[in-house]
Copies of this chain bind each other. A is one copy, B any other.
Amino acid sequence: MTTSRATIRDVAAQAGVSVATVSKVINDRYGVSASTIERVRAAIEQLGYESSLVARSLRNQRTNVIGVLVTDIEPFSAELLKGAAKAIRGTGYELVVYSAGGEAAHAVGWENRYLSRLSGTLIDGAVIVTPTVLAPSYGAPVVAVDPHTGGEDVPTIDSDNRRGAETATEHLLELGHRRIAFIAGRSDLESARLRETGFRAAMAAAGVPVDPALVVAGDYAEALSANAAHALLRLPDPPTAIFAANDISAIATMDMALTLGMQVPDDLSVIGFDNIPESTLTRPMLTTVEQPIQLMGQRAIEMVVAILRGEHPDPRQVRLPTRLVLRDTTAGPR
């Protein structure tokens, strides 16, 4: 037990050569005799040696590793990771996902701290998911997914949040709803602002005034959204439909409606945003606006790889389409 892992020195000692020679063998550099190579390889084999990624990346600039930085691994980022993993195949790069485990993430600027911790060493480039502040990149290429702002300098990937929100709202309107509530997302993210903008635009276009009491904060988070839903449904004149800024919030809303003894969609229509896999786990299944999340992850990786290869991907701001997915949580008001 606990036999510390073999280092390059152990290999060198075992093979009776210098550390530098071992390094040469490992990296296929010229200038090592066949017999020495043989001996070194044998030692490596015997000791189960594998060069330390850390030591190596401290010394070299390139590591062949791309990082994906997330605050947490939840349904959205997990989908994104699937896409990222798909895109990484065949590129020769490896993927490292770094998650602070929620806590540190609350501090504004987590993305820059992470980036600073990993960049220059360990990763050649990074994808940052839902960053709130985007600092000058430290040399390594960075692509932001669903960033705090419509991006100016940094390449970004997002989806058409505004149009998606309009579509959702129009759907509710067409069903005959007029008292439509909106549970807003994280106010520090552009996506949340655009979803609210889309909601308001669709309402305005239909000539339906937005009751300020029906627009509440949900923060893309379960607990806060549940509270928000509770408050909305307890209003003297409650909404007949709720548009939640993401699926997590929509699911929390459905749970709360159930808790309050209401039937979805008979007593209340609910519509979400994202189309995470979990949205089909609810009963009834959630009607929602789909973002191509996996594709967003895929595109982000592709863009980082392209930049790493010295290319200059042209639209640096990629906006993917959204799409209404009709399921069973919306119906006309009674």
Residues of A in contact with B (beta carbons under 8 Å apart): 1-6, 48-55, 57-58, 72-75, 78-79, 81-82, 84-85, 88-91, 93-104, 112-113, 116-122, 135-139, 276-278, 280-281, 285
The answer to whether B82 and A81 touch across the interface, beta carbons within 8 angstroms, is no
The answer to whether A52 and B117 touch across the interface, beta carbons within 8 angstroms, is yes
Beta-carbon nearest neighbor of A135 in chain B: B48
- What is the CA–CA distance of A274 and B54 in the complex, to the nearest angstrom? 35
Chain B residues lying within 8 Å of A72, measured Cβ to Cβ, are 85
Chain B residues lying within 8 Å of A55, measured Cβ to Cβ, are 58, 121
Given contacts A50-B116, A78-B81, A137-B2, contact A100 B94 (CB under 8 A): yes
- What is the CA–CA distance of A78 and B99 in the complex, to the nearest angstrom? 14
The answer to whether B4 and A139 touch across the interface, beta carbons within 8 angstroms, is yes
Cβ contacts A to B, 5 pairs, < 8 Å: A48-B116, A52-B118, A53-B117, A73-B84, A94-B98
Report, nearest first, the 6 A-B pairs whose CB atoms are least far apart.
A277-B277, A50-B116, A73-B85, A54-B121, A97-B97, A5-B138
Beta-carbon nearest neighbor of A63 in chain B: B54
The answer to whether B81 and A119 touch across the interface, beta carbons within 8 angstroms, is no
Given contacts A54-B121, A54-B122, contact A93 B101 (CB under 8 A): yes
Chain B residues lying within 8 Å of A276, measured Cβ to Cβ, are 277
Beta-carbon nearest neighbor of A75 in chain B: B82
Chain B residues lying within 8 Å of A96, measured Cβ to Cβ, are 96-99
- What is the CA–CA distance of A102 and B82 in the complex, to the nearest angstrom? 12
CB distance from A32 to the nearest CB of B (A): 22
Given contacts A73-B95, A91-B101, A280-B277, contact A53 B135 (CB under 8 A): no
Chain B residues lying within 8 Å of A112, measured Cβ to Cβ, are 48, 50
**Given A50-B113, A73-B82, A277-B278, 14 extra CB contacts under 8 A:** A1-B136, A1-B137, A2-B139, A3-B136, A4-B120, A6-B116, A52-B121, A73-B85, A81-B97, A89-B101, A91-B101, A97-B98, A280-B280, A280-B285
Beta-carbon nearest neighbor of A275 in chain B: B281
**Which of B50, B102, B121 contacts A89, CB < 8 Å?**
B102
Beta-carbon nearest neighbor of A112 in chain B: B48
Chain B residues lying within 8 Å of A99, measured Cβ to Cβ, are 85, 88, 94-97
Given contacts A54-B58, A55-B121, contact A85 B113 (CB under 8 A): no
- What is the CA–CA distance of A99 and B78 in the complex, to the nearest angstrom? 14
**Which of B57, B73, B102 contacts A81, CB < 8 Å?**
B73
Chain B residues lying within 8 Å of A81, measured Cβ to Cβ, are 73, 78, 81, 97
Chain B residues lying within 8 Å of A51, measured Cβ to Cβ, are 117
The answer to whether B119 and A5 touch across the interface, beta carbons within 8 angstroms, is yes
Beta-carbon nearest neighbor of A153 in chain B: B1
Chain B residues lying within 8 Å of A94, measured Cβ to Cβ, are 98-101, 104
- What is the CA–CA distance of A189 and B136 in the complex, to the nearest angstrom? 46
